[in-house]
């Protein structure tokens, strides 16, 4: 139900959610708290408190790339809970499917898209074999944190310690 009665007022939840969406969209586009508040007839402190309610972490943007990983779902849950904006984590099977299901041009474009997106982040976490992470680190002129999963070639999925992974993200935040 979209309506809630509080004492003698009827509150429209959808109207509130739409206003919150508008505020956050404007702020994500770089509009100041003061300007958003003024445009919506609110106090700047309300915008600040609203952002504080949803804040997950502070710090620069972080991207994560890793393969072949056994516990992808666990790591994705950590990334989501910590507000990590972009990740490419794959099992060995997913990595081969990514390669085999594309033509040469599609594969090239897919890899270039990933590289371009990752280069837009402040910090990058790389998980993989020593050889692969060295190659990937050379592509990015960012702060790089490496979690080596073993010697190349890695042909089996590797379990990543969830607590160590979470600690690395916390260290960068």
At 98 the three-state DSSP class reads: helix
What pLDDT is stored for residue 20 in this prediction?
93
Give the pLDDT confidence score for residue 13 in this predicted structure: 92
Q: Residue 18 corresponds to which tokens in the numbers above?
A: 């739409």
Instruction: List the domain range (segments joined by +) for residue 126.
Output: 62-172
3-state class (DSSP) for residue 135 = helix
Do 69 and 143 lie in one domain? The reply is yes
Residues 6 or more apart in contact with residue 171 via CB below 8 angstroms: 145
- Whether 154 has a pLDDT exceeding 70, the answer reads yes
Same domain, 50 and 81: no
Give pTM, 2 decimals: 0.70
* 163 and 135 fall within a common domain: yes
Q: Check which CATH number belongs to the domain holding 86 and give it.
A: 3.40.50
pLDDT tens string 126-149 = 999 999 998 888 888 788 999 999
The verdict on 77 and 126 lying in the same domain is yes
Any idea of the CA torsion for 161, 167, 170, 172, to the nearest 10 degrees? Answer: -90
User: Number of folded domains in the chain?
Assistant: 2
pLDDT of residue 58: 66
Please check the confidence at residue 56 and state whether its pLDDT lies above 80.
no
The whole-number pLDDT of residue 52 equals 85
Asked if 149 contacts 160 with a C-beta cutoff of 8 angstroms, the reply is: yes
The answer to whether residues 126 and 73 belong to one domain is: yes
pLDDT digits (tens, 9 = 90+) for 33-43: 999 999 999 99
């Amino acid at each position: 139900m979209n309506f809630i009665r509080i004492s003698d007022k009827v509150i429209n939840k959808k109207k509130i959610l739409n206003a919150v969406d508008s505020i956050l969209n404007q702020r994500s586009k770089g509009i100041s708290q003061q300007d958003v508040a003024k445009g919506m007839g609110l106090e700047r402190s309300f915008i600040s408190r609203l952002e504080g309610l949803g804040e997950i972490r502070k710090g620069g943007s972080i991207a994560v790339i890793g393969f072949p990983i056994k516990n992808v779902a666990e790591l994705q849950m950590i990334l989501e809970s910590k507000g990590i904006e972009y990740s490419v984590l794959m099992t060995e099977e997913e990595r081969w499917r990514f390669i085999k299901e594309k033509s040469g041009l599609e594969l090239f474009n897919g890899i270039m898209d990933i590289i371009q997106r990752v280069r837009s982040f402040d910090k990058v976490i790389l998980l993989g074999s020593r050889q692969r992470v060295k190659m990937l680190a050379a592509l990015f002129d960012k702060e790089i944190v490496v979690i080596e999963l073993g010697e190349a070639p890695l042909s089996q999925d590797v379990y990543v310690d969830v607590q160590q992974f979470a600690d690395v993200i916390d260290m960068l935040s």
